Amino acid sequence: MSARSLEGRNVATGRDVRILVEDGVIRRIEESPAQADSWVAPGFVDLQVNGYGGYDLNDGRVDADVVLALTRRLGAAGTTTFLPTLITAGEDSIIAALRAIARARQIDPMAAHAIPFVHVEGPHIAPEDGSRGAHPREHVRPPDLAEFDRWQRASQNLVGMVTLSPHWENAAEYIAALVSRGVLVSLGHTDAAPEQIRAAIDAGATLSTHLGNGVSAVLPRHPNLLWTQLGDDRLTATFIADGHHLPPDTLRVMLRAKGIERSVLVSDSVALAGMPPGTYRSPIGGAVELRADGRLCMAGSDFLAGAACSLADAVARLAGSSICTQQEAFRMATQNPGRFAGGRGVLRPGTSADLLRFSFDPHSCSLRMQTVLAEGVECLPC
């Protein structure tokens, strides 16, 4: 039996606590008389990860070793639960990546714990420029339940979340079928009309994928798909809070509309996240530039080429802003996404010991990880 304790100020309550861990499980949380100079929080839960630290899930070369290395890099950066996210591609490519992720979970207990299921973003999205984002148009196709069942057979039922556009003729029937199989359906990369959005929600869709992004730059003033998703309390919205995908005023208004309880932060990170600034070649976008401020854009332009920060970076940025409180920023990256990942992201006796101990500098908007436990196993901070 392995046992240890972690002390710090609980980010949810502001109280000094000692967390007692045995065999990867939180056994007890008690008040600590010492005044801690560090914070403790649940590990971050990221519902959308395309890659990180040079490891790419969508470049056609993913294998179990890539998935395992990605899991460890994310853990060291504070993300102890994540959904590997596969974007629009040919069916063979999606199935190959699913098999690699399934294999990684089979051979490594940490990966099996960190990856509760896979998020497939596409290929059933809007084909138009803007709404489609960086997804390859040649692989966009309508929903097909037979294809989904082939994904599941190849991965041992590992697909647990699908992002799609509800503009397709059979979208509502497809959504209802996935929901009946226990799969989360999220709306994104869409040009759907408000009535199509509402029909998708009636069919069981419960999430909006990176709301405000993956949408045309030109929309009707009202009604439009943003107002419909913001206004329907049946949807929880995910947001990319890297300081580049959504302007501060836009994010502030969106969070007020959805409410903190129905808002989730995602990194949507690509392989270049966590890498030094410079010019790189990317499978999506070709020549891209990662700037010192974290903006990843097409070389020689300001057009975004993906998200390039960890979820910890996004939380720190938001916690140091006037958009929300530190407590709210952490809630949107732990407890709220954890509701969709088996109840992760909480500090509670009996739950897995996915824990962070860190210092936070609000002036530089940065978190410095001191200890990261993933189900009680220590990951070395980056």
Domain presence at residue 275:
yes
Q: What is the pTM of this model?
A: 0.97
Question: Burial code of 158-184, b = ≥16 C-beta within 10 A, e = fewer?
Answer: bbbbbbbbbbbeebbebbbbbeeeebb
Whichever domain contains 114, its CATH number is 3.20.20.140
pLDDT one-digit tens code per residue, 128-172: 998 998 899 999 999 999 999 999 999 999 999 999 999 999 999
d(CA 16, CA 117): 34
Residue 382 within a domain: no
Residue 274 lies in a domain: yes
18 domain-assigned: no
Using a 10 angstrom Cβ sphere, with 0-12 exposed, 13-18 middle and 19 or more buried, the burial of residue 339 is: middle
Cis geometry, peptide bond prior to residue 337 (ω within 30 degrees of 0):
no
Burial of 153 (0-12, 13-18, 19+ CB in 10 A): exposed
Q: Is the pLDDT of residue 286 over 80?
A: no
pLDDT band at 285 (very low <50, low <70, confident <90, very high): low
Looking up tokens 């929080």 gives 41
- 297 within domain boundaries: yes
In a domain, 374, yes or no: no
> What's the pLDDT at 271?
95
Q: Average pLDDT of 3-7?
A: 91
Reduce the DSSP state of residue 144 to 3 states and report it: coil
Question: What pLDDT shows up at residue 305?
Answer: 83
339, two tokens: 């509701």
Q: How many C-beta atoms lie closer than 10 Å to residue 322's C-beta? A: 8
Asked whether residue 320 is domain-assigned, the answer is yes
Total domains in the fold of the chain: 1
For residue 380, the model assigns a pLDDT of 79
The rounded percent of the chain whose pLDDT value lies above 70 is: 99
* C-alpha count within 13 angstroms, C-beta hemisphere, residue 163: 31
The residues near 237 (Cβ < 8 Å, ≥ 6 apart) are 207, 208, 211, 229, 230, 254, 258, 262, 263, 264
Exposed (0-12), middle (13-18) or buried (19+): which is 21, by Cβ within 10 Å?
Answer: buried
Instruction: Report the C-alpha gap between 160 and 378 in whole angstroms.
Output: 27
Q: Domain of residue 208: give its range.
A: 42-343
Confidence of residue 36 (pLDDT cuts 50, 70, 90): confident
- At 361 the pLDDT is 87
Mean pLDDT across 341-347: 96
Could you tell me the sign of the dihedral formed by the alpha carbons of 188, 294, 42, 71, in that order?
positive
Q: What is the pLDDT of residues 260-280, one digit of tens each?
A: 999 999 999 999 999 999 999
Mean pLDDT (the chain) is 94
Reported residue count of the chain is 382
Reported confidence tier of residue 244, pLDDT bands at 50, 70, 90: very high
Q: What are phi and psi of 68, to 5 degrees?
A: -65, -45
Report if residue 88 sits inside a domain.
yes
